[in-house]
Amino acid sequence: MLQVGEKFPAFSLNAAVSGDEELRKAFKTITDLDYPGKWKVYFFWPADFSLLCPTEIAAFGQFDAEFQKRDTQVLGGSTDSEWAHRAWRATDPSLKNLTFPMLADVKKDLCGQLGILSLNGMAQRATFVVDPEGTIRSIHVSDGAVGRNPEEVLRLIDAIQTKGLCASGWKKGDANMKIA
């Protein structure tokens, strides 16, 4: 698995950007060079049309405005196709109004470079926070049965963006630790 401080890999993937019936509006190619100057949160899930995954995808969607306030672009993804992502967005009410792309790593290139492919060949439940220079600043991988909390990802971004020392439980607005 890649480590904090390493560069996020170059990629070019098809993505579902909506569940729109008009296909030219439903898909887009996304690369690592898109969203220049922004922080990025890449979060991966094991499989579309599953029970747990839409709960956290919808949660990231609910907090997208908060990520945008932090100059951060959210990008979700799995090893499912962009067609599966589109169908899921179109049929699951909790995913219909997502504002971020769903990356389709069907060749498993990006997940393989990141080191997050499970033994069954699906993406692990992994989150990467990447700074505007493309450097990985945070990595979190959890058990497939445990969903993520986007508020914790926001707290991490807030802490990292202070460029200071942030104690456990630090929240935006708290003072940074001082070295005596």
Please name the residues in contact with 127: beta carbons below 8 A apart, sequence gap of 6 or more.
41, 42, 43, 44, 138, 139, 140, 141, 148, 153
- Which residue(s) pair with 139 in the sheet? 128
Sign of CA dihedral 11, 143, 67, 49: positive
Pairing of strands 12-16, 102-104: antiparallel
Q: Which residue among the candidates 26, 53, 123, 136 is catalytic per the annotation?
A: 53
Of 19, 1, 10, the closest CA to residue 102 belongs to 19
Q: Is 111 a catalytic residue?
A: no
Of 92, 93, 72, the closest CA to residue 153 belongs to 72
Q: What are phi and psi of 130, to 5 degrees?
A: -125, 130
- Which positions are annotated as active-site residues? 53
